Structure 1
């Protein structure tokens, strides 16, 4: 069951992040990758938990309802059915902002996004005895203005008490920094999607073999814990291990109460869950062979920096011969590659980093120990992965239903914003019976050399000693070929196979293994037909095969051209076309916010420029009096009456206004010109502002709507412009009284 959590800000709020992106701000608000406001799912989960703990004596004395929805601390049982994602702007707004930031013509500046969606607040600490500000207490905070609405995805893994959840949401009224000082007043509500009755559609054919192929697309950041040297940070793997998919499927079967499926798919070990690797151009990538090396002196330090226009950048391979004999070599940094005809394409999934703080639940302030701030590195939302499950054909229907319909959660902190409900679709590749989507397994003639490529780590034991020894894998593969090939070279990289049993809260004992990407070179001593190769590839090597370990692939060694392999970097995600369709009300409102922020900044610059070039200034007191009509709604008529009507200014004041000149006009004529309904700011080399380009830079919606909103914004900001202009004239007159004429 899925739904949406709506958070409406009734006052300015700051959901801070420890890092700052602007030295002018002491505290930054949390943002997403586009610079838009964001409330982390961990924060929302913590707010609901604090509310529940405060109200549990009256609402939930035995705390059973809260544990069922929010889960128990440091527990991995079936409790905690609610998953809360990050609260973000509406999807259409995010799509339009992303298009505006990445378009080739007139891209929007990130500063424009920050100015439109955030405000600054300055505060200080007051001494209670003297009433004066204390020294070194002035600080600035970036806040999200009131009226902003953010939306977080909700996923319920089972039946939950919606009435109790609604009660917790209604009781949660304050959040963020300075929640006890007038900021962070919020209103939260949840809406749930209604299941729609759909017509039964015949499932597409997914092949006749044992492999079930699927595509997994992340909808939230996903943390798949990897080794990290910093105790306050958590790195992530760049692929999704088969054990993670297997555990998610097992959890879904447990929630469904399907003991038969648990026995046949999980406990029996008949189903093998292969690793899901990044998808590049519709193809499943595989770990880069450790024999792939590059010239250390070449400008190929990062696979993402390989020039797309020059696919001939050489990458040597040990098992292909002397490609880089005299060069200084270093391992290729691309973790995954997609094999092509004569070249390989590098694959590297995007990652994001989130900074979190541990806070004291009683006081709401951050703890002062060394573990207060911690960082999560996570796979970015939107990244796609291709995986396989090798299982008996009769179980494919059950697996397909679980993958495509049951909500699955992956990785760390799944209850609070990470790894929630990825989109999984079972697919039918061109050659579904092969893990690498090749038309047919290769075959080898006597004397021909070929390589065996480890597609995943392999946990193997020495047959003589019974100890884990990754370097005997060559002998095991040679024995599997029944003596039809001899091992002539190997490049095996050692690694450690780890694991974690969530139910027991204990790590699986670590063992040595042969790392993915290890390469072994064989020479055929007899004919090896495609059936033998297919049988060897179908059965993994070693232990823990149900978790995807021990996958191998046979590869013919046929040097291409000069004996070099050629690497091509994966293409950057293409900038999508301008979103089509009628913009929503939220998108139009966001367009107004952006235009208002851009116009205010430029109108302030224009007012400063005009005030600096004005001559025969009016006095400071007269300039301040000329600002007073702007407080009333019908200020245009007031100015008309002051300059030409019955309530005309006194002669001395009127004479001073008419002597003051700016932009080639007297001050009264300039003010009346701004009062005109169709007034537009001057543009040209003399003021340095190009309003037409400014309008294009900030456009999110179709041109017709953008032009209308721009005209409305300029019309509404005429008073703002006059207030800034007269304020600048007053300050200048106050600094140089001799240049001012006319007093009140």
Structure 2
């Protein structure tokens, strides 16, 4: 079990971690928010500033040299190369040891405490709006020292006074002494961390970080004892081929055991697809090669590693779960009508009508057993940056500002683990059940945490082509690619030729028992198509060596091809065997998954039911008692929500010329109206004292109606909350149990001040503009 460390980040001032965007006409930069609309701080941001603080600590403890504490920094936070990785790999300065991955991993970003987060997520939207505010700013001309023209801006800021929490883990392989050293380093670094987020060197983002774990805070004796710290655990050796590669494989005709993995994304998951400029785009699914290392690590046997290399252990891609099974990529031959989005066309069996416009469906998944609608995965986009230690700002050499487009948290995916009977002992799937995995990029902080539930699939579930029949010579075989397929030509070069695909498929059918089958690509008739596919590129990477591997090029998932069966007979058993085992190379990593003669490829006009977008109900949380964590932060938020509502209602109330405040004062001159502003600083005083001030101020007035109206407004206990049309629904703006009565008393003077000020200003404007209009 890993060693847990609880992080509590107390924000002492207003702060901002931007999402890289703005809102036109409102502010130039927005605060980063989660799916509930609440501000948060990415773990990647905390990890960066905490590492800088720990580097200062290590430099001091090592007397300015590269010593044992510097190696502890590399152990806890991972290797950090000063050169770009590709350049470091080619240069003589490249390290001889393999780069060490980070030992410290985070389970979530820094968010509001659980109870407070639930209350805010289910609260009135005005409470969530009160979490932030717009802060004005201006750029100065360095030559004149004055403000530049057209340089006014507004930045969205999150309010201070709140506490954000997360949990991190250190490996359980650390013994007591090593764990104490790692804890001392992190605790000392937390003492030096004073700011986080944007503009932290100009007053924003002031904070205090507290760590809670066994041995924290360390005692003075332990600090003296560990002045000479032991070295951290050695870096893992260079990856080697696992044992057991020569183990005997089962017979090709042996059956398969299939386990369904139900995967819930607890964090966004980023599996690299392509990089466009500074945008790293993730895939809309999790490929099998991203899941295979975690599967093999938990199975933990030489036989499993050997089976993965021979194709006797297969991990299929994780796609959106539809109908209890992993979805299949929409075939490329299916097109959707532009004029009627509910109408679809299969170009393999029906020509496109000349008077209708159709478009190909580029994304989405359909049910493996047919029926249902087209599911698409949800994405989240976050911006990050790499800070140069000397420039103290993002620089292009270290990556600068970049964005990650990843699968959104909360997405549910499904994948299969297939193992030939006899390879693994019975009950092997239980080692995969109820586990938490980390996959994909940046999995040490804000990405890659998933929860996996595994269970054996019943043989009665759909396997192979539903309703498939034997294919005789002279028939047609249509192939639907469920994943990327890697094919080589006779010279062992990656191939995109249908002839090479037919050859590999013939060999797979022969192994499955369909000997003598000869396939040739179907020649399409005029106006129709028999094949629609594109090539996919997978930039392979060895995470252990931190070095690139060969680029994989093959047929992309969703492609469709059609072949004529020139000779031989393809039985149903052979079709099911090929669909289960796949074809081509690297089948253990999920490549080569296909469907043969699926019913969908023979339907002229497939029907996909429209599926409503599921919207989870907003979480509802009870109001917080004074003893609950986050009570102080909740009181700050509800107080600001009340203030915003008071200002809004005061302006709306003043817009009515006959309101209950202005009506008694209509006979007063501008001079006497302005003298009322003398009371603004005393509205929080007790009613008796305030009444004496009103008596002193209005002693010479000849308007008793105005004096009585003013006295009733300022001294009655229920004023101004009892005014019709002024403010209502304040109960919905409360996050705490005792918030409503306390805030009515606390903000009474402020509400009176806002109401009087708005009404007096409205009265002055109406008189001035009315006089100008009459002239």
TM-score higher than 0.5: yes
Q: Distance in 1 between matches of 2:696 and 2:347?
A: 91
Alignment correspondent of 2:358: 329
Q: Give the stretch that moved more between structures: 581-590 or 532-541.
A: 581-590
The Cα offsets for residues 577-615 of structure 1, whole Å up to 9 and x where unpaired, read as: 663777673587676556544432332233335556422
1:550 paired to 2:597: no
Deviation of the 1:366 alpha carbon? 4.1
Question: Are 2:712 and 1:669 equivalent residues in the alignment?
Answer: yes
Pair 1:163–1:709, CA change in 2 (3 A): same
Alignment of 1:252-291 (within 5 A): 252=297, 260=302, 263-264=305-306, 270-291=312-333
Q: Counterparts of 1:275-674 in structure 2 under 5 Å?
A: 275-295=317-337, 297-300=338-341, 313-322=342-351, 324=353, 327-341=356-370, 343-362=371-390, 364-367=392-395, 372-392=400-420, 395=424, 400=429, 403-404=432-433, 407-419=436-448, 421-429=449-457, 431=458, 442-444=468-470, 446=472, 451-462=478-489, 464-470=490-496, 471=498, 472-479=500-507, 480=509, 481-483=514-516, 486=519, 489=522, 490-498=530-538, 499-521=540-562, 528-557=570-599, 563-576=604-617, 579=620, 585=628, 595-611=638-654, 613=657, 614=662, 615=666, 616=668, 619=672, 622-630=675-683, 634-643=685-694, 648-649=695-696, 652=699, 655=701, 658=704, 660=706, 666-673=709-716
Query: Which residue of the partner structure matches residue 186 of structure 2?
Result: 165
Distance 1:268 1:69, change over 3 A: farther
Q: Secondary structure at the match of 2:155?
A: strand
Equivalent residues, number: 670
Report the equivalent of 1:18: 20
Q: Please say which of residues 37-46 and 590-599 is displaced more in the overlay.
A: 590-599
2:101 to 79, 87, 105: 79
How far has the Cα of 1:125 moved from its partner? 7.2
Aligned pairs for 1:180-219 (under 5 A) are 180-191=201-212, 209-219=256-266
Q: 1:68 — aligned with what?
A: 75
Q: Confirm or deny that 1:48 pairs with 2:50.
A: yes
What SS class does the counterpart of residue 151 from structure 1 fall into? strand
Change (3 A) 1:650 1:544: closer
CA contact (8 A) 1:126 1:132 kept: yes
1:729-744 equivalent positions in 2, closer than 5 A: none
Are the counterparts in 1 of residues 515 and 568 from structure 2 also a CA contact under 8 Å?
no
Say if 2:309 and 2:586, in contact at 8 Å, map to a contact too: no
**Is 2:316–2:417's contact at 8 Å kept on the other side of the alignment?**
yes
Q: Distance in 2 between matches of 1:193 and 1:265?
A: 42
Shift of 1:495: 1.1
Unaligned runs of 5+ in 1: 101-107, 195-207, 301-312, 740-744
Number of the residue aligned with 2:751: 721
2:291 to 245, 251, 272: 245
Q: CA deviation at 1:20?
A: 1.4
Q: What SS is found at the alignment partner of 1:168? A: helix
2:57·2:185 contact (CA, 8 Å) conserved in 1? no
| Per-residue deviation, 1:426 | 0.7
The 2-side partners of 1:432 and 1:709 are apart by 59
- 1:175 is aligned to 196
Cα distance in 2, alignment partners of residues 283 and 259 from structure 1: 28
- Determine the C-alpha separation between the residues in 2 that align with 1:193 and 1:398: 37
**Structure 2 unmatched ranges of 5 or more:** 86-97, 216-254, 523-529, 770-775
User: 1:509: Cα distance to partner?
Assistant: 2.2
Partner of 2:111: 88
2:221 matched to which residue of 1?
A: none
Conservation of the 8 A alpha-carbon contact between 1:284 and 1:385? yes
- Secondary structure of 2:445's match? coil
Name the counterpart of 1:103. none
- Checking the alignment, whether the CA contact within 8 Å between 1:279 and 1:385 is kept in structure 2 is yes
- Residue 373 of structure 2 aligns to a residue whose secondary structure is strand
Contact kept? 2:13, 2:206, Cα under 8 Å: yes
The separation in 2 between residues aligned to 1:733 and 1:316, in whole angstroms, is 67
Determine if contact 2:373/2:611 at 8 Å carries over to the other structure: yes
Are 1:592 and 1:713, in contact at CA under 8 Å, matched by a contact in 2? no
Determine whether 1:121 maps to 2:144.
no
**Cα 1:579–1:558 shift into 2, 3 Å:** closer
Find the residue that maps to 2:202 and give its secondary structure.
coil
Conservation of the 8 A alpha-carbon contact between 1:222 and 1:411: yes
Q: Is the 8 A contact 1:620 1:729 kept in 2?
A: no
The alpha carbon displacement at 1:679 in A equals 5.7
Give the Cα separation in 2 of the matches to 1:213 and 1:406. 14
Structure-2 separation of matches of 1:657 and 1:627: 21
Distance 1:546 1:130 in 2: 67
Distance verdict in 2 for CA 1:95–1:266, change over 3 Å = farther
Given that residues 116 and 624 in structure 2 are in contact (C-alpha distance below 8 angstroms), is that contact kept between their aligned partners in structure 1?
no
Give the TM-score normalised by structure 2.
0.76
Distance in 2, Cα, partners of 1:656 & 1:53: 75
Contact 1:443–1:533 (Cα < 8 Å) also in 2: no
Q: Is the 8 A contact 1:657 1:668 kept in 2?
A: no
Residue 114 of structure 1 and its aligned partner are, at CA, apart by: 5.0
- CA shift, 1:141, in A, is 3.3
Q: Which residue of 1 aligns with 2:237?
A: none
Give the superposed CA RMSD: 4.0
Correspondence for 2:245: none
Give the SS at the match of 2:453. Answer: strand
Per the alignment, residue 742 of structure 1 pairs with none
SS of the residue corresponding to residue 473 of structure 1 reads helix
Separation (CA, whole Å) in 2 of partners of 1:131 and 1:322: 71
Q: Secondary structure at the match of 2:755?
A: helix
Alpha-carbon distance change, 488 to 233 in structure 1, aligned in 2, over 3 angstroms: closer
Q: Give, in whole Å, the separation in 2 of the partners of 1:536 and 1:266.
A: 17
Structure 1 position 386, deviation (Å): 0.5
2:119–2:622 contact (8 Å) kept in structure 1: no
Question: Cα distance 1:232–1:650, how it changes in 2: closer, same or farther (>3 A)?
Answer: closer
**Are the aligned partners of 1:212 and 1:396 in contact in 2 as well (CA < 8 Å)?**
no
SS of corresponding position for 1:294? strand
CA distance in 1, matches of 2:464, 2:586: 26
CA contact (8 A) 1:211 1:433 kept: no
The Cα of 1:59 is off from its aligned counterpart by 3.5
Which of 264, 269, 274 does residue 222 from structure 1 map onto? 269
Q: Residues of 2 paired with 1:157 and 1:658: CA distance?
A: 79
CA distances 1:372-409 after superposition (whole Å, capped 9, x unpaired): 33221111111111011223556477964664466532
8 A Cα contact 1:90 1:150, kept in partner: yes
